[in-house]
Amino acid sequence: MKTTLQTLLGICLIVLLTQTNVFAQGCVAIRSTGGLCTMDEHPDSLAPQGSWLFNTNTRYYRSFRHFVGKQEQFQRIAQHTNVINHSFTQDLSLTRNFDNRWSLALDIPVISNSRSSLYEHGGSQRRSTYSSGVGDITLVGFAWLFNPAKAHNGNIQVGLGLKLPTGNDNAQSYFYNVGPNGSKRLGPVDQSIQLGDGGTGIVTEVNAYYNFTHSFGFYGTFYYIMSPQDVNGISTARGGTPSATSVLITSDVMSVPDQIMSRVGFSWAVNKFDFSAGARYECLPSHDLIGGSDGFRRPGWILSGEPGVNYRLKKFSIYAFVPVAIMRDRTRSVADIRTTELTGVYAHGDAAFADYVVNVGISLKF
């Protein structure tokens, strides 16, 4: 029974380790911090006086479909005016299990992004901007609420920690055909491909599982980063001078937004394979729980179906998970609302989303 429980709950670990950071991918700037979500392995499988768990996860997506609200802007692809973001993130996470109840997890994302567009480069020629480096590091402590020695069928894990502003929030690249006589100009890249947001965040997390049988169970997680800082002061003018209107509505600088992710699903074990099927919700809200919500942000959310498979050996696992978008919504920002109030004309910005995200990786317990 113990071995079966380890196999079944092992998939909860891999499912919750894979990301996200975000996505809500693409122009809605949910970063890979959203993918740490570390439900540690079932307590029965851990050494009484501690163990280590290392996980490396590769995440890739291509965002190119524009939405205003829930309405896709099909003309953008037809006219070749859509923005295309490519994002690669290598998440390196290390978890220290002090005993079968308490643990501490460190996640370091290494990111490489590119963004192709017309409008950022004079409107006549498609060009790309780039960013690469270490993103925002998170450090989170976890505890099981119920005694693992007695709670064999299910348990709840809570986490509390920090998202550190280690990622460059002022990554710069060249924008073409925007300077005098059509020259290039160096400036901060778009918020969606910045490596960090410049603020320290408070990470809160709840993970849970319940076993219906020895081979079939339920998993769930809720993840929220609270960002008290209002704006990071980085210009959105791509090396130019912000307009008077953007200054008035505060979209001349980048916002430091909250991030939300939740996941629910079912998992079942077949020999050395673990399979899962669930739903994933990612959101960058218009308003923060703590602090101001000024500055430029593209709020929105995405609901995805998330199938996954994991091949597990005694201390080594290989997995793949592919969240596929079901519904996408670019919601109105504070700047959109202020623009409407200022001009009397309804304003609702757009954002580009991906169709799916690919997560593949390995985990090792030692």
For 178-201, the pLDDT digits (tens) are 988 889 999 999 999 999 999 999
The closest alpha carbon to 81, from 342, 274, 363, 352, belongs to 352
pLDDT(329) > 60: yes
| Mean pLDDT taken over the chain | 89
Q: Which two tokens stand for residue 234?
A: 């980085």
Instruction: Give me the domains of the chain, ranges plus CATH numbers.
Output: 2-365 (2.40.160.40)
Amino acid at 187: G
Q: Which helix (H) or strand (E) holds 336?
A: helix 334-343
For residues 333-349, average pLDDT = 97
DSSP 190: P
Rounded Cα distance between 222 and 205, Å, is 6
Q: What is the DSSP letter of 15?
A: H
- Which pLDDT does position 35 carry in this prediction? 37
Pick 125 or 24 by higher pLDDT.
125
Is 61 in contact with 356 (CB distance < 8 Å)? yes
Mean pLDDT of 154-160: 96
DSSP per-residue letters across 71-140: EE-HHHHHTT---EEEEEEEEEEEEEE-SSSEEEEEEEEEEEEEEEESGGGTTTS-EEEEEEEE---EEE
d(CA 305, CA 291): 32
DSSP 330: B
β-strands 216-226, 259-270 pairing: antiparallel
* CA-derived radius of gyration, the chain: 21
Q: Which of 44-48, 278-282, 299-303 is the least confident region?
A: 44-48
Q: Which residues contact 95 (CB under 8 A, 6 or more apart)?
A: 38, 40, 52, 53, 54, 55, 103, 104, 105, 106
- The model's pTM is 0.89
pLDDT of the residue at 31: 54
The Cα 322–Cα 328 span in angstroms is 16
Q: How much of the chain is helix, strand and coil, in % rounded to 5?
A: 15, 50, 35
Q: Are 257 and 296 in contact (CB under 8 A)?
A: no
Mean pLDDT of 257-264: 96
Q: Does 305 score more than 50 pLDDT?
A: yes
Please give the pLDDT value at position 106: 97
Could you tell me which residues come within 8 angstroms of residue 76 by beta carbon, excluding any fewer than 6 positions away? 66, 82
- Comparing C-alpha atoms, which of 183, 181, 203, 199 is closest to residue 191? 199
pLDDT band at residue 151 under the 50/70/90 scheme: confident
For residue 155, give both structure tokens: 């348990």
Say what percent of the chain tops pLDDT 70.
87
- Give pLDDT tens digits for 113-137: 999 999 999 999 999 999 999 999 9
Q: 97-111: buried (b, 16+ CB within 10 Å) or exposed (e) per residue?
A: beebbebbbbbbbbb
Higher pLDDT pick, 260 / 179: 260
pLDDT at 19: 39
Q: What is the pLDDT of residue 26?
A: 62
Q: Is 338 exposed, middle or buried (0-12, 13-18, 19+ CB in 10 A)?
A: middle
Over residues 207-218, the mean pLDDT reads: 93
User: Which residues lie below 8 Å from residue 313, measured CB to CB, with a gap of 6+?
Assistant: 272
pLDDT for 255 beyond 50: yes
Q: What is the pLDDT of residue 335?
A: 97
User: CA dist 183 to 177, 237, 311, Å?
Assistant: 5, 16, 53
In the predicted model, what is the mean pLDDT of residues 14-19?
44
**Sequence-ordered list of residues with C-beta below 8 angstroms from that of 247, at least 6 positions apart, any chain:** none
Residue 28 has what pLDDT? 65
212 φ, ψ to 5°? -80, -40
